């Protein structure tokens, strides 16, 4: 194992210091202090006899070699199920690992069990800043890790970074470091997601397509399907509706056999939202209504429900169906007040005021309050939402600027949103 001597030395030093024990006390009658110093620095590999005696003084009983082989396989199995999205199997194995974690932390599998604990904590949305700190502690030893261990560390650091803020370029940086250690479908999928969140849609599509091919070769269909969502959404924001539909229809074909209502609901929502952006309102309404038919509030967050109601409101307003638009506006306000704004982004919260102004004033595009409200929503979205939402709200802001003949301001927003990706 790469870094075996360093891991052993790190363990000995860690537990010696925890017990406020000097090097002289630990190695008395076992070896010279200078030799113990070399062991702790990982510059020598000591004999099994010396190692056992040092562990005995520290009160550590490391697992046998045979047991370590068994637990090593268990840990590999845990990560396999994690990356293949097999949650039930992963949870069962982690319970076994938890029962043995004390011994595993006192073994050469210390990196693996530490990473498994971080991955599991991430799945239950534990404190991300705390998890990041734990990862950064492990990062100090990355040069002594196997490539697969370093890959897992960089990957979870990337996931944590975009979990803290999906607008952070640091997540993409860590995914690139993971790819440098192991170029597989999972890392490529994560890199595609990071680029999508940052509005780098062409890069997201290119990397995503490579990732999709690798995931299918690896037999990782669940991840491949999830990646299709990202590629489709990237094409939607790139205004390539045909390619978007190609990927969403691919997912729908796969879900036809799995009967996954939750994901179908999301697909129809995304297709409808895209048609709304390109002003094909009849198709937008068709797909948004299909999403609403499949929507079960108990399976979705208030934010997701509000976004669907928002798109239905805007579509009916565009079709001059004010009565139906008003119905969805009232429902959106009820959902918002029931949720007490918990888990709802600032931009979405303020959008309810924007919708109210749009509904109550026939000539809303000429209204200064309307303009300032959509401007505020756009600015909030730059802080709390990914680039797709920036483009969505930006489109309405540009429309308002143009209606009030503020062409310079409209051009500035257009350049900010579209020129960098050559959408104009």
* pLDDT, tens only, 314-331: 999 999 999 999 999 999
Distance of alpha carbon 307 from alpha carbon 178, whole angstroms: 34
Query: Average pLDDT for residues 164-185, to the nearest whole number?
Result: 93
DSSP H/E element including 266: helix 261-277
Instruction: Name which residue leads in pLDDT, 255 or 12.
Output: 12
Length of the chain: 424
Query: What is the reported pLDDT for 326?
Result: 97
Query: Average pLDDT for residues 419-424, to the nearest whole number?
Result: 50
Q: What are 359-383's pLDDT values in tens digits?
A: 999 899 999 999 999 999 999 999 9
- pLDDT band, very low/low/confident/very high, at 110 (cuts 50, 70, 90): confident
Query: What is the reported pLDDT for 424?
Result: 41
Query: What is the reported pLDDT for 62?
Result: 66
How many percent of the chain have pLDDT more than 90? 63
Query: What is the reported pLDDT for 124?
Result: 84
Is residue 3 pLDDT above 60, yes or no? no
Is residue 301 pLDDT above 60, yes or no? yes
Nearest partner of 213 among 177, 184, 182, judged by Cα: 184
Query: Average pLDDT for residues 261-266, to the nearest whole number?
Result: 85
Distance of alpha carbon 147 from alpha carbon 136, whole angstroms: 17
Is residue 140 pLDDT above 90, yes or no? no
Which residues, 6+ apart, have CB-to-CB distance to 213 below 8 Å?
185
- pLDDT band, very low/low/confident/very high, at 71 (cuts 50, 70, 90): very high
Instruction: Give the number of other CB atoms < 10 A from CB of residue 333.
Output: 15
Query: Average pLDDT for residues 292-296, to the nearest whole number?
Result: 92
- pLDDT band, very low/low/confident/very high, at 126 (cuts 50, 70, 90): low
Residue with tokens 């409209």: 410
Q: What are 176-235's pLDDT values in tens digits?
A: 999 999 999 999 999 999 999 888 999 999 999 999 999 999 999 889 988 999 999 999
Query: What is the reported pLDDT for 98?
Result: 93
**Which tokens belong to 362?**
């026939």
Q: CB burial class (10 A; 0-12, 13-18, 19+) of residue 210?
A: middle
Average the pLDDT over each of 170-174, 236-240, 252-256, 297-301 and give the range with the smallest value: 252-256
CATH architecture for segment(s) 4-60: Orthogonal Bundle (1.10)
Distance of alpha carbon 12 from alpha carbon 150, whole angstroms: 22
Work out the angle between the directed axes of helices 241-258 and 261-277 (0-180°, nearest 10): 170
Query: What is the reported pLDDT for 64?
Result: 64
Query: What is the reported pLDDT for 194?
Result: 94
**Which tokens belong to 5?**
């001597």
388-399 burial, b for 16+ CB within 10 Å, e for fewer?
A: bbbbbbbbbbbe
Average the pLDDT over each of 69-78, 86-95, 140-149, 335-344 and give the range with the smallest value: 335-344
pTM over 0.85? The answer is no
Helices of type H across 28-184: 33-41, 48-58, 65-83, 87-99, 101-105, 110-123, 128-139, 147-164, 169-181
Query: What is the reported pLDDT for 343?
Result: 80
Average the pLDDT over each of 57-61, 108-112, 117-121 and give the range with the smallest value: 57-61
Which residues, 6+ apart, have CB-to-CB distance to 128 below 8 Å?
122, 160, 163, 164
Residue with tokens 């017990």: 19
Instruction: Name which residue leads in pLDDT, 26 or 258.
Output: 26
- pLDDT band, very low/low/confident/very high, at 297 (cuts 50, 70, 90): confident
Is residue 144 pLDDT above 70, yes or no? yes
CA dihedral (359, 363, 365, 367) in degrees, to 10, reads -90
- The third-level CATH classification (topology) of the domain covering 260-344 is 1.25.40
Query: Average pLDDT for residues 397-419, to the nearest whole number?
Result: 92
Domain ranges of the chain: 4-60, 260-344, 346-424
Query: What is the reported pLDDT for 78?
Result: 97
Query: Average pLDDT for residues 10-26, to the nearest whole number?
Result: 89
DSSP H/E element including 306: helix 302-318
Is residue 423 pLDDT above 50, yes or no? no
Residue with tokens 């940052």: 198
């Amino acid at each position: 194992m790469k870094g075996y001597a360093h891991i052993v030395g790190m363990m000995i030093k860690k537990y010696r210091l925890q017990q406020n024990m000097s090097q002289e006390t630990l190695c008395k009658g076992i070896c010279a202090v200078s030799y113990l110093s070399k062991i702790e620095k990982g510059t020598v590999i000591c004999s099994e006899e010396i190692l056992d005696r040092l562990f005995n003084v520290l009160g550590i009983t490391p697992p046998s070699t045979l047991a370590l082989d068994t637990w090593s396989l268990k840990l590999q199995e845990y990560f396999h199920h994690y990356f293949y999205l097999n949650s039930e199997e992963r949870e069962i194995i982690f319970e076994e690992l938890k029962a043995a974690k004390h011994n595993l932390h006192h073994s050469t599998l210390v990196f693996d069990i530490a990473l498994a604990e971080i991955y599991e904590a991430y799945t239950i949305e534990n404190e991300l800043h705390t998890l990041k700190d734990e990862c950064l502690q492990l990062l100090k030893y990355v040069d002594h890790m196997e490539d697969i261990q370093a890959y897992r560390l960089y990957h979870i650091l990337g996931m944590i970074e975009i979990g803290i803020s999906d607008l952070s370029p640091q997540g993409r940086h860590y995914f690139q470091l993971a790819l440098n250690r192991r170029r597989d479908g999972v890392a490529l999928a994560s890199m595609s997601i990071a680029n999508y969140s940052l509005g780098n849609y062409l890069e997201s599509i290119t990397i995503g397509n490579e990732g999709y091919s690798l995931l299918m070769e690896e037999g990782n269909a669940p991840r491949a399907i999830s990646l299709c969502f990202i590629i489709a959404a990237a094409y939607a924001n790139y205004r390539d509706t045909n390619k978007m539909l190609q990927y969403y229809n691919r997912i729908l074909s796969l879900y036809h056999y799995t009967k996954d209502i939750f994901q179908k609901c999301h697909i129809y929502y995304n297709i409808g939202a895209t048609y709304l952006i390109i002003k094909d309102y009849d198709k937008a309404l068709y797909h948004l209504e299909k999403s609403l038919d499949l929507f079960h509030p108990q399976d979705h967050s208030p934010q997701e429900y509000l976004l669907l109601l928002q798109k239905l409101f805007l579509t009916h307003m565009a079709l001059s169906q004010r009565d139906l638009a008003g119905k969805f506006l009232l429902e959106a306000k009820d959902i918002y007040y029931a949720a007490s704004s918990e888990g709802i982004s600032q931009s979405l919260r303020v959008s309810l005021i924007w919708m109210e102004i749009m509904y109550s004033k026939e000539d809303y595009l000429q209204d200064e309050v309307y303009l300032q409200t959509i401007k505020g929503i756009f600015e909030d979205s730059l802080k709390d939402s990914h680039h797709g939402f920036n483009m969505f709200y930006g489109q309405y802001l540009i429309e308002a600027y143009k209606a009030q003949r503020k062409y310079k301001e409209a051009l500035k927003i257009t350049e900010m949103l579209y020129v960098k990706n050559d959408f104009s």
